[in-house]
Amino acid sequence: MVRLTLLCSLILSCFAAHALRAEDVEELARIHVEAIGGRERLARIEALRARGHVVAPDQMLLFEMMAQRPNRVRITMRGGGRTLIQGTDGVAAPWRQEPERSPRAVPMSEAEGREFAADAEFDDPLASAAERGYQLDLAGETDWENRRVFRVLVTRRDTTPSYLLVDSETYFILARLTTQRMPSGRTVQVEMRYDDFRPVGGVIYPHRVETLIDDQRVRQTVLTSIQAIPAPPPEIFVMPGAAGAGANL
C-alpha cells in the first residue's frame, strides 16, 4: 500500500518537476528523500540484511549482504564451488577473502578498495549530501528510457565523479553513470540501472540492479529479500585475523 508521505511527495513532484533550476539541487535532494520515505524513517533503519543472486554471462552467484550505517558492509558470494567474502568496517582498508584458496583475508588493492568503500555508503548521495562531503550540481534534464530525468553531478574527494538520473515524476534514482578505467587501461562507461522499487521498513529501496558497460549488459543483481535489522556486532565487518574480527556469516 502506497504510504501517505509518498503520495504527497508525488503530488508535489508533479508541480515541481520542470520548475527546478541549477541552484535548486538542494530542493531536488529534499524531495527525493521525502519520496523514498523521509528523513525520520531513513534514520530509524540502522542496518539491513539482503539476500539474492547475481546473473552474469555463464554464471549465477548467490549472495548475502549485511550493511550498517554509515559505511559498514560485508558481502558473501557463493557459486561454482567457490566463496568470496568482502567487507569494510568503515575505518581500515576494505578486505577480501577466498576461503577455498587461502584461509587468510587480505586488504583490497587501493583502487578496488576505494570503489568498494564508496559503494559501502548506507544512504544514497542525495541524503544529507553536504554533511557527508558530497557536492551536488544539477546538470539539466534529459530523456532517458522514455522518462524525463534530472541529471545530478555528484563529486566527493577521493571518489569517482558520477551522474545520478533522478525521475522527474517519482524522484527515485533510476541510474548512476560513471567513467572507469579497467585493469587493462581501457576507459569504459559504466551504467547502473535501478528498478523494482519496494518498501523496506517504510523506506523505498530498489530490488533489481542492472550493470551495463559501454551499453552492454554484463550483470543483473536481484535482491530476493531485504530486511531492516538491529545493529549487528561490529566485529563481523572487521578483516578476519585482525583484532576484533568476527566469524563468517
Res 220: pLDDT: 97
- Are the beta carbons of 162 and 179 closer than 8 angstroms? no
Q: How confident is the model at residue 6 (pLDDT cuts 50, 70, 90)?
A: very low
Asked whether residue 150 carries a pLDDT value surpassing 90, the answer given is yes
Asked whether residue 144 carries a pLDDT value surpassing 60, the answer given is yes
Res 149: pLDDT: 98
- Are the beta carbons of 132 and 154 closer than 8 angstroms? no
The CATH number of 4-237 is which of 3.30.70.260, 1.10.340.30, 2.50.20.10, 1.10.8.100?
Answer: 2.50.20.10
pLDDT tens string 20-43: 565 599 999 999 999 999 999 999
Res 246: pLDDT: 53
Q: How is 51-93 classified by DSSP, letter by letter?
A: EEEEEETTEEEEEEEEEETTTEEEEEEEETTEEEEEEE-SSSP
Query: Average pLDDT, stretch 226-237?
Result: 97
For a pLDDT cut of 90, what percent of the chain falls above it? Answer: 78
pLDDT tens string 158-202: 889 999 999 999 999 999 999 988 878 899 999 999 999 999 999
What region, left, alpha or beta, does residue 148 occupy, with left being phi > 0 and alpha being psi -120 to 50 degrees?
beta
Query: Average pLDDT, stretch 49-60?
Result: 94
Q: If you average pLDDT over every residue of the chain, what do you get?
A: 89
CA distance 24 to 30: 10
Domain regions of the chain by residue span:
4-237
What pTM was estimated for this model as a whole?
0.86
Least confident of 88-92, 207-211, 238-242: 238-242
Res 103: pLDDT: 87
Query: Average pLDDT, stretch 9-13?
Result: 34
Q: How confident is the model at residue 127 (pLDDT cuts 50, 70, 90)?
A: very high
